[in-house]
Amino acid sequence: MTMTGEMGVEDPAMRRAAMVSELREDVIVSEAVAAAFLTVPRHVFAEGEPLEAVYDSNTPLVTKVDSRGAALSSVSAAHIQAVMLERAGIEPGMRVLEIGSGGYNAALIAELVGPEGSVTSVDIDEEIVARARRCLRSAGYGRVRVVRADAEHGVPEHAPYDRIIVTVGAWDIPPAWINQLSGRGRIVVPLRFAGLSRCIAFDRVGTRLVSRSYCLGGFVPMQGQGTFTDTVVPVTGDAALRVDGPDPGFDVPALRRAIHGRRIARWSGAAFDLPDELELFVVTSGPLVPFLHASQALVDQGVFTPAVTVGAAVLVEAGSFAYRTKRGNEDTGGWESGVYAHGPNAEDVAERYLDLLRRWAAGYRRRGAARIEYIPGDGDGGTPRGWCAPKRHGVVAVSWP
């Protein structure tokens, strides 16, 4: 499709329309969200970026990096913004807090709440705040408030909020976010637990939060008081276990021997499907399911499958471990799940993993099957149900109804 107007000049409105048509194919369902994306000039918030990148729905536009080149701030990809806005269900007249500023997403929210509503955006970084204010003014959204603060404390001056949209990776939900939500408010937050991040839309129910939907979605990490880091336990020079919490005391010498020892393969006879959902089921099946990360060199040597280069959920039993794999099988709908296991107890740990794979395929093989709750630690939210991850300010509880 040509993206030039009558004078042969690239036309951002045409690119915008093309991006919205594409987003309508899988994420945008409401006319209000489509209209917001058609109206807000994304390129005004992406100074110096080529229009092709600006209007590519899957491309985030990095606006600041740290000394090692890792992104500290970006205008997020339009795709995840559309997902979050659809799940937020923002209506005209609402009061909305956006955590993490880029300007563009706040302008989309301003379109959704209309002149009767209000939008406050907060960012910890003065440079990002100045940039967001400048871009918002240029695009005609000077009414969006951009505040510089650590979002750990929310923005109490303009609370309560009907919606809070968190656009930075969070490891916990500080009390301020719940307290500043209105009684029937909703928060959409990319929350990390058990080594995974899920973008969750939570409804406030009393003082607890109950998920109404969740999906994959990664963001730049939180800075300030909410900063978090995973624990990485090296096993060999090119393989490590990553855990969310302190090192539980793995038997590293035994695991090192297991890596280079015999490997067994076992098959579940069950379908392999929706790997992100299956992974969530596995990591919330026990108190500690770490991720195994290994180098391409170990894959090339035939020790591991390529999945470990990005991290594979592993069941560890002393000096033995297992992780999942798949193979083609028409009898199970195209793919069948299975496991590779190493170590003296490889048979046992493989069997435990296979049991999880079969249970998931039989009972939960659909998107969004888990119920995720956040129960604040002040004692008012009641008793957590199911698998629990303790956080600084409360507990994430996951159950599989």
Ligand X SMILES: C[S@@+](CC[C@H](N)C(=O)[O-])C[C@H]1O[C@@H](n2cnc3c(N)ncnc32)[C@H](O)[C@@H]1O
Positions touching ligand X (CB under 6 A) are 72-76, 98-105, 122-125, 128, 150-152, 167-168, 219-220, 222-224, 226
Q: Is 295 a catalytic residue?
A: no
Nearest distance from C-beta of residue 353 to ligand X, angstroms: 35
CA–CA distance, 263 with 344 (Å, rounded to integer): 10
Burial (0-12, 13-18, 19+ Cβ within 10 Å), 116: exposed
SS3 6: coil
Are the C-beta atoms of residues 213 and 270 closer than 8 Å to each other? no
Alpha-carbon dihedral 213, 110, 16, 59, rounded to 10 degrees? -50
CA–CA distance, 287 with 1 (Å, rounded to integer): 52
Residue nearest ligand X (C-beta atom)? 102
CA–CA distance, 263 with 336 (Å, rounded to integer): 19
| 164 CB-near residues (< 8 Å, 6+ apart) | 96, 97, 98, 99, 154, 177, 180, 181, 185, 186, 187, 188, 189
Active-site entry in 76, 101, 197, 211: 76
The CB-side HSE value for 29 (13 A sphere, CA atoms) comes to: 8
User: Smaller CB distance to ligand X: residue 230 or 380?
Assistant: 230
Residues found in the chain: 401
**Residue with token string 């795709």:** 79
Q: CA 106 from chain center: how many Å?
A: 19
Burial (0-12, 13-18, 19+ Cβ within 10 Å), 295: middle
User: Smaller CB distance to ligand X: residue 167 or 337?
Assistant: 167
Q: CA 161 from chain center: how many Å?
A: 22
Nearest distance from C-beta of residue 220 to ligand X, angstroms: 5
Nearest distance from C-beta of residue 241 to ligand X, angstroms: 27
Active site residues: 76
